[in-house]
Amino acid sequence: MSQIIQWIEIGTIIRSLGCCPSEGELHDLIAEVEEEEPTGYIRFEKFLPVMTEVLLERRYRPIPEDILHRAFEVLDPAKRGFLSKEELIKYMTEVGERFSQEEMEEMLSAAIDPESNSIHYKDYITMMVVDEN
């Protein structure tokens, strides 16, 4: 028995298993595996069958690069190829399933090109995808 016990959030586990749910989908999933009286913990016996089904059904598949690129283009109708820092912040923190300040800061630290103060999303996506592999 490993003595090393660390707290990992259920969302992290689900996402690292290859799924890419939205926050809303994640909440639904957690509701399925939670105890009747939420203790803040998930039991493995309950988690396993639900998760197995999710994986077999190939639910919440990850997003292909080109779809991601198109999403950025929606936010950049003038098709400049980049978003300004302010625009990125506005969209990520005010629209959709909003980022927390921490998430926003972390994204900015890697995404923003300091010279132009903007994110060139095509390059950004390529970099992140390569990095994952």
Partner 1 sequence: MGSGTSTQHHFAFQNAEKAFKAAVLIQRWYRRYMARLEMRRHCTWSIFQSIEYAGQQDQVKLHNFFSYLVDHFTPNNHNERDFLNRMFTEERSPQDSEMENCRDYESIEVPDSYTGPRLSFPLLPDHATALVEAFRVKQRLHARYVLNLLYEARKHLVQLPNINRVSTCYSEEITVCGDLHGQLDDLIFIFYKNGLPSPERAYVFNGDFVDRGKDSVEILMVLFAFMLVYPKEFHLNRGNHEDHMVNLRYGFTKEVMHKYKTHGKKILKLLQDVFCWLPLATLVDEKVLILHGGVSDMTDLEFLAKLDRHKIVSTMRCKTRKEHKKQAEEKGKANQTSSAGTPSPWFLPQSHSLPTSPLRPSTQKAHRAGRSSSVPCGVPLDPKELSHRVRHSVDLELERCRQQAGFPVIKEKEEPLPSASEADPEAEGRREPTQEEWRQVVDILWSDPMAQEGCKANTIRGGGCYFGPNVTERLLQKYNLQFLIRSHECKPEGYEFCHSRKVLTIFSASNYYEVGSNRGAYVKLGPALTPHIVQFQANKATHTLTMRQRISRVGESALRALREKLFAHSSDLLVEFKKHDKDKTGLITLSDWAAAVESVLHLGLPWRMLRPQLVSSLTDNKLEYKSWLKNLAKEQFSHENIQSSLLEALYRNRSNLETIFRIIDSDHSGFISLDEFRQTWKLFSSHMNIDVTDDCICDLARSIDFNKDGHIDINEFLEAFRLVEQSCSKGYASDC
Neighbouring C-beta atoms of residue 95, cutoff 10 Å: 10
CB nearer partner 1, residue 48 or residue 110 = 110
- Nearer to partner 1 by Cβ, of 80 and 98: the residue is 98
What are the residues binding partner 1 (CB under 8 A)?
1-6, 8, 11-16, 19-23, 62-63, 67-68, 70-72, 74-75, 91-92, 95-99, 103, 106-107, 109-110, 128, 131-132
Tell me phi and psi for residue 119, to 5 degrees.
Answer: -110, 120
**Residue 75 C-beta: closest distance to partner 1, Å:** 6
CA neighbours within 13 Å on the CB side: how many for 67? 4
Residue 56 · residue 17 · CB < 8 Å: no
CB of 34 to partner 1, least distance (A): 19
Residue closer to partner 1 (CB basis): 50 or 91: 91
CA 120/CA 126 separation, integer angstroms? 10
